[in-house]
Amino acid sequence: MDAKLKKQLEITACKVRLGIIEGVYNAKSGHPGGSLSIADTLTYLYFAKMNVYPDKPDEKDRDRFVLSKGHTAPALYSVLANRGFFSVEELKSLRHIGAMLQGHPCITIPGVDMSSGSLGQGISVACGMALSAKISNDTYKVYTILGDGEIQEGQVWEAAMFAAHYKLDNLVAVVDNNGLQIDGNIKDVMSPYPIVDKFRAFGWHVIEMDAHDFDSIEAAFNEAESICGQPVAIIQKSVKGKGVSFMENNVSWHGTAPNTEQYEQAKAELEAALKALEA
Amino acid sequence: MADVKKIATRESYGNALAELGDKYDNLYVLDADLAAATKTGIFKKKFPDRHFDCGIAEANMMGVAAGLAATGKIPFASTFAMFAAGRAFEQVRNSIGYPHLNVKIGATHAGISVGEDGATHQCNEDIALMRTIPGMVIINPADDVEARAAVEAAVKYVGPVYMRFGRLAVPVFNDPATYKFELGKGIKLADGEDIAIIATGLMVNEAIEAEKELRANGINATVINIHTIKPIDEDIIVEAAKKTGLVLTVEEHSVIGGLGSAVADVLCTKCPTKLIKIGVNDEFGHSGPAAMLLKEFGLSAENIVKTATQAVKNK
C-alpha cells in the first residue's frame, strides 16, 4: 500500500477508535471489544474501498455494507461520523433516549444500509442485496462483517450455501476472528473451527487477513475483487479490544463500558498513538 | 352447491403472481423448495429468471427478501405458514418488520385444512404471531377472487405484508365483475340485527351459508368479511356491534391471538359487547381429510348456526 495512504488510514483508524470509546463511555453500555477489533477493516472499507456518498447516503450505485455483528455498532457509527455522514459529536448520544444512534444499527441512520444485531441475519440480507445487483446488472459490491462467534448461528450456513449457489462474486463476507465471545474463548464455548475449511467446503473463495495491518487488508480486498463466480470470505485474524492496552484479548470487554478512570486511560493511549502517527 | 367452482387460495396466489409479473417488472419470487405446493411454480414457469429457490432454509430466505427489498425489488417470499410465521418469525420481525422493508410474505397451507400432514404442518398461530410485529399488514383472503385482488393490493402497498393462503380448494363466492378489494376495509355481506358474525378466510363462506339457515330459522345476522386482519376495520366492527349487541367471530386459526382477539381488542376499548369466538381452541390438530377436520373442530356453517342460535337465545 502507498505509504501516505497507509499513514492516513492509520490516523483515521485511531480517530475511529477514539469515537468508539467516546460513544460507549457516554452510553455507559455497549460493546467496545469487538468494535475495536473491526476498526481498521471498517476504516479501510469506508475510506479507501467502498463507493459511498456521505452527502447522498441513499445513492443507488453506492456499495452496500451490512454489519452482521450488529452489536459492534459503535465502530460503524464512528466510521460513518468520521466519514461525514453525521457529526462526530453525535457519537456521544449513542444509546441515549431519543437519540438517533440506536444500540444496534438502524436503517434510518444516514449511511446505515440495514438494521442488524440479531446475529446470523445480516449475511442473509447481504446475500439478497448481492443477488439484487446481479439481477439488475448493477455494479455495486456488498460487504458484510460477521463475528467468529456469530457463525455458530445456523442461518449463517444457510446464507453461505445460498451465496455460493447463486455465484454471488459481488459479495464479500468478513469473519472477525478475534477468538472471544461473551462466555469465553470460542474454542471452549462452541468451536466454529476450522473456519477457513468450512467456507471453502461451502464453495467460497477464502482469504486470510491480518485485521490490523493495512497492507494485508488492502491485499485481501483487492484479491476479493478479482474473484469471479464465487463469493469471497475474508477470515481476519484480529485482536479483541485492539488499540486499548487493558481491553486487548480480554473477554470482559465484550459488552462492558469503561468507567471514568478507564475511559481517561483509553483516551490517553489512543491520543498518544494518534499524536505519534501525526508527528 | 355442486356447480360452485372451487379453487384453493394458494392456486390463486400462484396465478396472481404470474399475471402481475407482466405488469410489475420488479416483482420477484422466492421459495424454499415448495414451489410446487405454494404454487409459485406457476410464476416460475412464466418467469424463470425472476424466481429464486432458496432451498429448505426459510430463515435465510426472509433475509434475502429483505436484501432484495432494500435495493428496490418487490420480493414475494413464499413457504408454508408454519415456516414463514413460525420458524422464521424472528427474521421476519428483525430483518423485515423493524426496517419496515417492502417484503411480501406469501404463506400457504395455513390452518387446520392442511389436513393429512397433521399438527406439525397445521399452522393455527401465524396471525397471532404476525399481529405482534409493528407495521405488518395481514391479509387472509376468503376465496379466489379476493386472493387475487389481495396479491395486487400487496404489490401496490409499500411495506411488509403477510398473506395467508389455504391448501384446500374452496368455493368461489365473490363475483369478479363487482368485487373490490380495499386494504384495511371489511366487507358487509349481510345486514341483520340479532347477531354479527365476523369471519375471515375460509370461514367467510361458512358464515354466508350459516346466515341463510339462521334467516330461515328467524334469526337475522349481520355477516362481515374481514380480509385484512391488520390494520383492522374498526368502524365496521363497532357499527355491527352497536347494531346487534352480540358478536361471533369465526376463523380457521387459534382462538388465541387471531381475528377473535383482534375484534376483542377493538370492542373492549370502543364498544364493549358480548363476544363469542369460534376457532381452533387451545389444542393441536391431527391428521385427517380437511373437510372432516374442519367439521370436527367446529369450523363449519353447522357449528356457526348452532353457536349463534344459542347465543341469540341467551341474549
CB contact under 8 A, B94 and A130: no
Q: What is the largest CA-CA distance in chain A?
A: 53
Decide if B7 touches A, using CB distance below 8 A. no
Nearest CB among A107, A113, A159 relative to B63 is that of A159
CATH superfamily name and code, B6-171: Thiamin diphosphate (ThDP)-binding fold, Pyr/PP domains (3.40.50.970)
Q: What is the pLDDT of residues B8-50, one digit of tens each?
A: 999 999 999 999 999 999 999 999 999 999 999 999 999 999 9
Give the CATH number of the domain where residue A197 resides. Answer: 3.40.50.970
Chosen for mutation from B60, B61, B101, B133 (greatest number of chain A CBs closer than 10 Å) is B60
Which residues in chain A touch residue B33, judged by CB atoms under 8 angstroms apart? none
Taking an 8 Å Cβ-Cβ cutoff, which residues of chain A contact chain B? 60, 64, 66, 106-107, 113-115, 117-118, 120-133, 135, 138, 154-155, 158-159, 161-162, 165-166
Which residues in chain B touch residue A121, judged by CB atoms under 8 angstroms apart? 59, 63, 91, 94-95
Instruction: State yes or no: pLDDT of B1 exceeds 70.
Output: no
Which CATH class name applies to B187-313?
alpha beta
Decide if B102 touches A, using CB distance below 8 A. no
Long-range contacts of A7-13 (CB under 8 A, 24+ apart): A7/A277, A8/A47, A9/A40, A9/A43, A9/A44, A9/A47, A9/A48, A9/A214, A10/A214, A10/A277, A11/A274, A11/A277, A11/A278, A12/A43, A12/A47, A12/A82, A13/A39, A13/A40, A13/A43
**Of A225, A213, A85, A208, nearest in space to A143 by CA:** A225
Q: What is the largest CA-CA distance in chain B?
A: 59
Chosen for mutation from A64, A158, A170, A171 (greatest number of chain B CBs closer than 10 Å) is A158
Which residues in chain B touch residue A158, judged by CB atoms under 8 angstroms apart? 54-55, 57, 59-60
Q: What is the pLDDT of residue B240?
A: 98
Q: Give dist(CA B75, CA A69) in Å, integer.
A: 25
Domain with CATH 3.40.50.920 in chain B: 187-313
A7: left (phi over 0), alpha (psi -120 to 50) or beta: alpha
Which residues in chain B touch residue A106, judged by CB atoms under 8 angstroms apart? 98-99
Long-range contacts of B149-155 (CB under 8 A, 24+ apart): B149/B179, B149/B180, B149/B181, B150/B181, B150/B227, B151/B12, B151/B13, B151/B16, B151/B17, B151/B20, B151/B106, B152/B16, B152/B20, B152/B181, B153/B181, B153/B182, B153/B183, B154/B104, B155/B20, B155/B24, B155/B27, B155/B74, B155/B104
Residue A190: which domain range? 3-278
pLDDT, average across residues B220-246: 98
pLDDT, average across residues B59-83: 98
Q: Give dist(CA A274, CA A15) in Å, integer.
A: 7
Reported ipTM: 0.97
Counting Cα atoms < 13 Å in the Cβ hemisphere of A83 gives: 28
Please give the full DSSP string across B215-274, using - where no structure is assigned: HHTT--EEEEE--EEES--HHHHHHHHHHHSEEEEEEEEETTTSHHHHHHHHHHHH---E
pLDDT, average across residues B191-196: 98
State the count of interchain CB pairs (< 8 A) between A and B.
105
pTM: 0.97
Q: Give dist(CA B208, CA B226) in Å, integer.
A: 13
**Of A101, A28, A34, A38, nearest in space to A65 by CA:** A38
Q: What is the pLDDT of residue B4?
A: 86
Chosen for mutation from B25, B64, B83 (greatest number of chain A CBs closer than 10 Å) is B64
Place of cell 468451536: A191
Q: Model confidence at B2, in pLDDT bands (50, 70, 90)?
A: low
CB contact under 8 A, B67 and A166: no
Number of domains in chain A: 1
Q: Give dist(CA B123, CA B106) in Å, integer.
A: 14
Ranges in chain A, pLDDT < 50: none
And the C-alpha cell for B217?
330459522
pLDDT, average across residues B89-110: 98
Range 60-89 of B in CB contact (< 8 A) with A: 60-73, 75
Q: What is the pLDDT of residue A227?
A: 98
Q: What is the pLDDT of residues A39-83, one digit of tens each?
A: 999 999 999 999 999 999 999 999 999 999 999 999 999 999 999
Domain with CATH 3.40.50.970 in chain B: 6-171
Residue B251's Cα: distance from chain center in Å? 9
